[in-house]
């Protein structure tokens, strides 16, 4: 049985929380989850990124191992995540290891022997590894010895075809229930709508599991969604004015765009790197490690980057292209502000984003019609979020079935968008689409429709005789940019559909009839007219954002404490390099700030500081005191 830095031979969950991890009390539903799993219950856990999901299985693993139940097997999809989580557990004094493809045969064999001797508390493995004959044999041997305590399936949304990050290898995890029905299982994820949750329960055979669904709210994140006008300049202005020298992630849809944006940011003097699946695996790993370990680094990436990124001080996540659905958007934006300090989720989008995403859905040769229909609905929900005028947080949480009140912190709350009566403009647009199809027998795309509305006799317009239509030129009073905004919002309102299978042509939806007949009015948000105009106005509610999150967190420290904090961070960086771990694994910034403020003179002074467990006190206490005692 492993040796743990706790005083009791049979610790309670609260003992483990305090003595191993250095926290005085559980957050939210953590206590209920931990106690349920410690007693051997199955659980389905939905908790937002940064909400403390890992503790929900790590504490039961420690308590159950000390009670003689053996090892907890954690199924995790990423090698890098396994490395950092195991490193953090070892730093806290917990015996943990991982089995993955980076290890030699000899290393794997040695770990297997440790497992059979009951010397490990947690073992991390990828879903592919779980399904191999050798791993099945190892699990069977542990089970026969009574040394298989718990299965924890992290990022469990990957099992669902309706989720935003489906991975077929997760489907094989149903074998855990089939082969080891008496071993408790828990599935954990930060993002899943109702359909995805149902699929998770069915695929993982968790029908009898107790569900713990936390609030999806991340109140420290400010959501801002703006019209895509000059995206490169908009992004650069956003970073330079809001997050200079701070860590962030920028998501782009294509590898080419990732490289272009990373180069642009570097040319502007911003520390930036590109990350996408087209890069060599070793280079990707190097860049991910650098992002985790260096301050103020911006990662420009496709969605290939991000799952399991535990870096707490990511101050912003920016999207230069619209994601596929709200689940993906929520998961990606949730990588900002894990430390609870203010952070930004910022996105630009345009009509072409909608067209591109719809085309990818409609032209798929492998997806079933049922799957396409669900994905279209998810895309429509994201478009509705983007075009909506109500609180972003209310809309976002409502998608996950959670009621909330206006947050006062998103762009729509801080600067309510101007709304105009677009009934007449909508009728002109819908009428033009209808008459073009009626006259020609075929449908046309957005550019052609707007040329007709604005009275532009292009070669194509004249060729089809559309310059003779009654709708030719009836929209000359509005600029093209405004017509594009009208069209986007008509699509978001399910009045117009982009048919990607027919060259992105526009088609009327059934509800358009009511608008054409004048039975309903159409109110739309006023669009920005330039890239400069889209920046939110800073009222009193937003004024605090002008100060960086780092500055806000350290504003209460006096001069002496700030000097101690600087020395502690420099010392932490050295230790992290020696251990080949991100600095936050050694100590979080919040722990260092608390130490600097307390100005400790003895080990007893360090006790009770959040994040200072027994093992870390033993390992680093004397050095922390030495650093704090140094003269500036």
Name all domains of the chain by residue range, CATH numbers in brackets.
13-213 (3.40.50.300), 221-418 (3.40.50.300), 420-516 (1.10.10.10), 550-629 (1.10.150.80)
Torsion sign (Cα): 563, 564, 567, 569: negative
Q: How many residues does the chain have?
A: 632
pLDDT-derived band at 542 (thresholds 50, 70, 90) equals: very low
Nearest to 467 by CA among 480, 477, 482, 457: 457
What pLDDT is stored for residue 549 in this prediction? 66
Q: What is the mean pLDDT of residues 143-155?
A: 95
Question: What is the rounded CA–CA span in Å between residue 624 and residue 616?
Answer: 10
Distance of alpha carbon 505 from alpha carbon 355, whole angstroms? 10
pLDDT of residue 405: 93
**Under 8 Å between Cβ of 74 and 152:** yes
Which helix (H) or strand (E) is 299 found in, with range?
Answer: strand 298-301
- pLDDT tens-digit map of 89-148: 999 999 999 998 888 889 999 999 999 999 999 999 989 899 899 999 999 999 999 999
pLDDT score at 543 = 41
Structure tokens at 374: 């669900």
> In the predicted model, what is the mean pLDDT of residues 442-454?
91
- Whether 471 shows a pLDDT value over 90: the answer reads yes
Closest CA to 381 of 425, 302, 423, 322: 322
pLDDT at 544 over 50: no
% of the chain exceeding 70 in pLDDT:
93
Tell me what pLDDT residue 548 has.
64
How distant, in Å, are the alpha carbons of 319, 324, 466 from that of 344?
11, 20, 46
Which DSSP symbol is given to 366? S
Give the pLDDT band of residue 545 (cuts 50, 70, 90): very low
Quick one: average pLDDT of 583-603?
93
Give residue 84's pLDDT band: very low, low, confident or very high (50, 70, 90). confident
Answer with the residue of higher pLDDT: 524 or 619: 619
**pLDDT reported for residue 3:** 52
Neighbours of 74 (CB within 10 A): 26
Helix (H) or strand (E) holding 576: helix 559-579
| pLDDT of 500 over the 70 cut | no
Looking at every residue in the chain, the average pLDDT score rounds to: 89
pLDDT value at 56 more than 90: yes
Judged by average pLDDT, the poorest of 134-148, 184-198, 361-375, 422-436 is 361-375
- Greatest mean pLDDT among 166-170, 232-236, 524-528 lies in 232-236
| Mean pLDDT value of segment 10-27 | 93
- In this predicted model, which residue has the larger pLDDT, 394 or 303? 394
CB 149 within 8 A of CB 183: yes
What is the pLDDT, as a whole number, of residue 370? 85
Of residues 394, 386, 317, the one with CA closest to residue 354: 386
Are 149 and 69 in contact, with CB atoms under 8 Å apart?
A: yes
Arithmetic mean of pLDDT, 10-38: 94
Q: Residue 192: what pLDDT?
A: 80
pLDDT of residue 109: 92
CB of 96 closer than 8 Å to CB of 76: no
Q: Is the pLDDT of residue 300 over 70?
A: yes
The CA distance from 44 to 33, in Å, is: 9
- Model pLDDT for residues 259-284, shown as the tens digit of each residue: 999 999 999 999 999 999 999 988 99
Per-residue pLDDT tens digits for 156-211: 988 887 766 788 888 889 899 999 999 999 999 988 888 888 889 999 999 999 99
Highest mean predicted confidence (pLDDT) among 22-26, 173-177, 343-347: 343-347
d(CA 332, CA 190): 10
- C-alpha distances (whole Å) from 492 to each of 39, 316, 324, 333, 382 are 48, 26, 14, 22, 9
Q: How far apart are CA 314 and CA 327, in angstroms?
A: 19
């Amino acid at each position: 049985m492993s040796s743990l830095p706790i005083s009791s031979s049979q610790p309670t969950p609260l003992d483990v929380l305090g003595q191993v991890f250095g926290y005085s009390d559980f957050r939210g539903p953590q206590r209920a989850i931990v106690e349920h799993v410690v007693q051997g219950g199955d659980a389905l856990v939905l908790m937002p990124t940064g909400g403390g999901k890992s503790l929900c299985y790590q504490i039961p693993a420690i308590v159950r191992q000390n009670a003689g139940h053996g090892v907890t097997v954690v199924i995790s999809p990423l090698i890098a995540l396994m490395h950092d989580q195991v490193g953090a557990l070892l730093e806290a004094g917990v015996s943990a290891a991982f089995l993955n493809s980076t290890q030699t045969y000899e290393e794997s064999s040695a770990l297997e022997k440790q497992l059979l001797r009951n010397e490990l508390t947690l073992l991390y493995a990828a879903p592919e590894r779980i399904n191999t004959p050798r791993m099945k044999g190892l699990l069977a041997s542990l089970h026969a010895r009574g040394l298989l305590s718990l299965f924890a399936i992290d990022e469990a949304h990957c099992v669902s075809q309706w989720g935003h990050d489906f991975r077929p290898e997760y489907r094989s995890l149903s074998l855990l229930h089939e082969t080891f029905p008496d071993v408790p299982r828990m599935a954990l994820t930060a993002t899943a709508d109702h359909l995805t949750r149902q699929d998770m329960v069915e695929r993982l055979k968790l029908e009898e599991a107790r569900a713990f669904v936390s609030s999806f709210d991340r109140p420290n994140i400010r959501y801002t969604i703006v019209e895509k006008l000059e995206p490169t300049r908009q992004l650069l202005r956003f970073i330079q004015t809001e997050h200079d020298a701070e860590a962030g992630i920028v998501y782009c849809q294509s590898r080419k765009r990732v490289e272009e944006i990373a180069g642009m940011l570097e040319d502007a003097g911003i520390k930036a790197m590109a990350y996408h699946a087209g890069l060599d695996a070793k280079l990707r790993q190097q860049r991910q490690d650098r992002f985790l370990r260096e301050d103020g680094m911006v990662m420009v990436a496709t969605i290939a980057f991000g799952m399991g990124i535990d870096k707490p001080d990511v101050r912003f996540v920016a999207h230069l292209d619209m994601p596929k659905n709200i689940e993906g958007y929520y998961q990606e934006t949730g990588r900002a502000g894990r430390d609870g300090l203010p952070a930004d989720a910022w996105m630009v989008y345009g009509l072409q984003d909608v067209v591109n995403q719809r085309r990818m859905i409609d032209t798929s040769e492998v997806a079933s019609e049922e799957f396409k229909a669900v994905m279209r609905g998810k895309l429509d929900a994201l478009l509705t979020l983007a075009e909506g005028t109500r609180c972003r947080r209310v809309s976002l949480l409502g998608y996950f079935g959670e009621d909330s009140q206006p947050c006062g912190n998103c762009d729509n709350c801080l600067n309510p968008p101007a709304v105009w009566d677009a009934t007449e403009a909508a009728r002109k647009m819908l009428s033009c689409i209808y008459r073009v199809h009626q006259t020609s027998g075929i449908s046309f795309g957005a550019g052609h429709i707007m040329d007709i509305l604005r009275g532009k006799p292009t070669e194509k317009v004249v060729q089809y005789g559309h310059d003779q239509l009654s709708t030719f030129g009836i929209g000359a009073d509005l600029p093209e940019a405004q017509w594009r905004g009208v069209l986007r919002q008509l699509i978001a309102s399910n009045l117009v559909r982009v048919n990607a299978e027919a060259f992105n042509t526009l088609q009327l939806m059934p509800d358009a009839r009511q608008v054409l007949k004048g039975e309903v009015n159409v109110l739309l948000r006023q669009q920005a007219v330039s890239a400069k105009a889209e920046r939110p106005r800073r009222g009193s509610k937003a004024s605090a954002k002008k100060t960086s999150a780092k500055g806000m967190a350290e504003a209460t420290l006096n001069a002496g404490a700030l000097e101690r904090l600087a020395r502690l961070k420099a010392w932490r960086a050295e230790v992290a390099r020696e251990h080949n771990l991100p600095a936050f694994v050694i100590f979080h910034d919040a722990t260092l700030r608390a130490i600097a403020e307390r100005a400790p003179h003895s080990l007893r002074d360090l006790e009770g500081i959040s994040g200072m467990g027994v093992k870390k006190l033993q390992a680093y206490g004397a050095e922390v005191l030495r650093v704090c005692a140094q003269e500036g």
